[in-house]
Each structure stands twice: as structure tokens, then as C-alpha cells.
Amino acid sequence: EDQVTQSPEALRLQEGESSSLNCSYTVSGLRGLFWYRQDPGKGPEFLFTLYSAGEEKEKERLKATLTKKESFLHITAPKPEDSATYLCAVQAIIQGAQKLVFGQGTRLTINP
Amino acid sequence: DTEVTQTPKHLVMGMTNKKSLKCEQHMGHRAMYWYKQKAKKPPELMFVYSYEKLSINESVPSRFSPECPNSSLLNLHLHALQPEDSALYLCASSQWGGRSEQYFGPGTRLTVT
């Protein structure tokens, strides 16, 4: 069964303090690993898709990397507006349909 | 444009009411999804439509009834809900097949009284 585990559950950083969020997964044939950002009471916002080990993608202060067992979301010199819940998901094919298997998320707080 | 719209933003309904949630996308996506999300939990898949046909029903109670009238629209009809059904309901869409990301709408905050 496909599984996704994110750590830590919650992370508090000072503005400018860089860190990384972890997403470990077990999946029978990775078809894509996705990172989303979600603000309270809003829908998840798509950030990145990673398909194969060694792949990296960047967007502003965020950089996502992928190995055969885990993905990291690196945040460099974060600002308070980066505070959100970050969700990791892998894609499974069930009954011929695409399904996202989500981790529990990491709640990130950046203090000014 | 990667926008998925949902109406209404907020909905309060009694346990005997009938209401509908609506979702629309104009990205040409042929897969559309309904999710339910409780506080501090990830989205939980309810239904998947592909080419306007129901592909996955994640054992959702019959008081939730999905409908896909055309390739751009997705509805969720609600009837005789329970207070525990109160949640954020999210719609998403994606290309069908391959390895494509899902784009989510802003959600409908549902409260059942």
C-alpha cells in the first residue's frame, strides 16, 4: 500500500533561518511526487512535481529534491509570508484512475 | 490560467436540507475530483470523474451525490447530512492519464447544524 510520511509535524523558524521539510514515501512505481502549500481555510496551491530520483525544482525561496525513498523541501531565508502547511503527495493509479496519497503535512511558522 | 472556482464559499445547512456545491474549471482538464478536509488533516478523496464518468467512489455515504454535467462542471448534491459532515469541501481538476498535477479550488466551508 502506498504511504507518505512527513516530518516534522510542525516547525517554527525565525525569519531568515533556513531549514528543510521531509517527505518519505513507499509506493509501487512512482508516477509523481507533488508538493502543495495550503493556507488556513483555503485550497492547496500546487508548488512542484518531481518524477525521478535526482530531480530538483526551485521557486523563489523553495527548492524541492527527490531521492528513491524521500523528498525534501528546502526553504532558504524564509519570510513570514512563507508560513503555511506544506503537503506532500504521491500519485497512485487505482481502478484506472489517478489518486493522490497525501502525507499529514508540516505546519510551518516563520516568526518576524 | 490554472483556476478552479467553487461556489458557495460558505454554507450552513440543517440536517433536513438539500443543497449543492458547484465547481468549474476551464483548463480543458478531463479529470475532476471532490475532497473532504477536516481541520489539521490532509484532503481525503471522495470521488473521481474522468471524461464525465464516475471512476472512483471512496465508499462515500449516499447522502453525498456527485454529478458531472459536462467537462467543465462538477456538482456535489447534499441531503440529510450529519454534523460530522461539517468540513472544507475541495474540488480539483487535472489532465487525465500520465503523471499530472491536480489544481485545487478555494473550497466550500460547510457547517451542518
Q: What is the pLDDT of residue A95?
A: 72
Q: What is the pLDDT of residue A53?
A: 93
Chain B (55-94) residues lying within 8 Å, Cβ to Cβ, of chain A: 55-56, 88, 90, 92, 94
**Which of A12-26, A30-44, A88-102, B68-82 is the least confident region?**
A88-102
pLDDT per residue as tens digits for the range B9-25? 999 999 999 999 999 99
Q: What is the pLDDT of residue A93?
A: 78
B/e letters for A48-85, b = 16+ CB within 10 Å, e = fewer, are: bbbeeeeeeeeeeebbbbbeeebbbbebeebeeebbbb
Report residue B6 as a C-alpha cell.
Answer: 467553487
Contact state of A41 with B109 under an 8 Å Cβ cutoff: yes
Q: Is B106 on the interface with A (CB under 8 A)?
A: yes
> What does pLDDT average to over chain B?
94
Distance from CA of A84 to the nearest CA of B (A): 12
Contact state of A95 with B55 under an 8 Å Cβ cutoff: yes
Q: What is the pLDDT of residue A1?
A: 79
Q: Is B106 left (phi over 0), alpha (psi -120 to 50) or beta?
A: alpha
> Is the per-residue pLDDT at B87 higher than 80?
yes
Residues of A with CB below 8 A from B56's CB?
A: 94-95, 97, 99
Q: What is the pLDDT of residue A90?
A: 93
The answer to whether B111 touches B101, Cβ cutoff 8 Å, is no
Q: Quick check: bond before A8 cis, omega within 30?
A: yes
B100 pLDDT band, cuts 50/70/90, is confident
Suggest the residue from B27, B40, B57 to mutate for an interface test with chain A (most A CBs closer than 10 A): B40
> What does pLDDT average to over chain A?
94
Q: What is the pLDDT of residue B98?
A: 64
Q: What is the pLDDT of residue B79?
A: 95
> Is the per-residue pLDDT at B62 higher than 70?
yes
Percent of chain B with pLDDT over 70: 96
pLDDT per residue as tens digits for the range A39-88? 999 999 999 999 999 999 999 999 999 999 999 999 999 999 999 999 99
> Is the per-residue pLDDT at A29 higher than 90?
no
HEC letters along A11-80: EEEECCCCEEEEEEEECCCCCCEEEEEECCCCCCEEEEEECCCCCEEEECCEEEEECCCEEEEEECCCCH
Cβ partners under 8 Å of residue A44, min gap 6:
A36, A37, A38, A87, B43, B90, B104
Which residue in B55, B90, B104 is closest to A97 by CB distance? B55
